[in-house]
Amino acid sequence: MVELIRGLRADQVLANLERVREQISAAGRDPSEVEILAAVKYVPAAELGALAQAGVALLGENRAQDLQAKADGDPHGFTWDFIGALQSRKVRQILPYVRFIHSVASDSVLAQLGRHGTEATQVMLEVNVAEEPGKSGISPSELPAFLERCPVSVVGLMTMPPLAAKPEDSRPHFAALRGLAERYRLRHLSMGTSQDYVVAVQEGATILRLGMILYTGAS
């Protein structure tokens, strides 16, 4: 069982953020054009103040009930995205709280978005670029039909590449996602985690979903 992250210090988070931004710049990208999303699945609500003090503005939650609880009690004015696997019955629950849903990948979710979404609802489609069996996400060949059927605004694509021994192994998958986004003129690419974010930045990521690399130094 993964332990909750406690003992966050704003100065440590800020130093980690600065290192990430330096690496974004070293990769040839403007840090202002790459959003750093702090994944807070294992960060208790009581620790979020340290993130706010460090200048973190964008948080991502994986579970609908936790997103609702944390966002309802948020005194810091964070922007919230939903980044986890999305059950169709949870769509209505999270819509009032989120800027983007990163993980739309089923017809049942599309149906709920049609019922409860508004003109302001914005989503990303999750693409299983490597077409791994049993993994969430639509195949690249399904993307055109999903774009046509989606009843709300699609602003980008998201992917989780296969587990890899080294970050460079993720490059072909990130490049493939970028190619799809370019083909369908979608702005955002949600790709790259603490393990492979530099490669993701080099391949065009606009949103990085980072966890422990931001929290290193916590007890």
* Amino acid code (one letter) for 7: G
pLDDT at residue 53 in the model: 98
Cα distance between residue 44 and residue 57, in whole Å: 16
pLDDT digits (tens, 9 = 90+) for 29-62: 999 999 999 999 999 999 999 999 999 999 999 9
Average pLDDT over residues 98-116: 98
Average pLDDT over residues 211-216: 95
pLDDT digits (tens, 9 = 90+) for 178-205: 999 999 999 999 999 999 999 999 999 9
pLDDT at 8 over 70: yes
Average pLDDT over residues 90-118: 98
The answer to whether 88 touches 121, Cβ cutoff 8 Å, is no
Looking at per-residue confidence, does 217 or 146 come out higher? 146
pLDDT at residue 134 in the model: 87
pLDDT at 218 over 70: no
Structure tokens at 94: 């999270």
Residue 31 parent element (H or E): none
pLDDT at residue 3 in the model: 83
Q: Tell me if the domain spanning 10-214 has CATH number 3.20.20.10.
A: yes
The answer to whether 40 touches 214, Cβ cutoff 8 Å, is no
Cα distance between residue 214 and residue 88, in whole Å: 31
pLDDT digits (tens, 9 = 90+) for 123-134: 999 999 999 998
Cα distance between residue 59 and residue 13, in whole Å: 14
pLDDT digits (tens, 9 = 90+) for 149-166: 999 999 999 999 999 899
pLDDT category at 219 given cuts 50, 70, 90 is very low
pLDDT at residue 99 in the model: 98
pLDDT at residue 7 in the model: 95
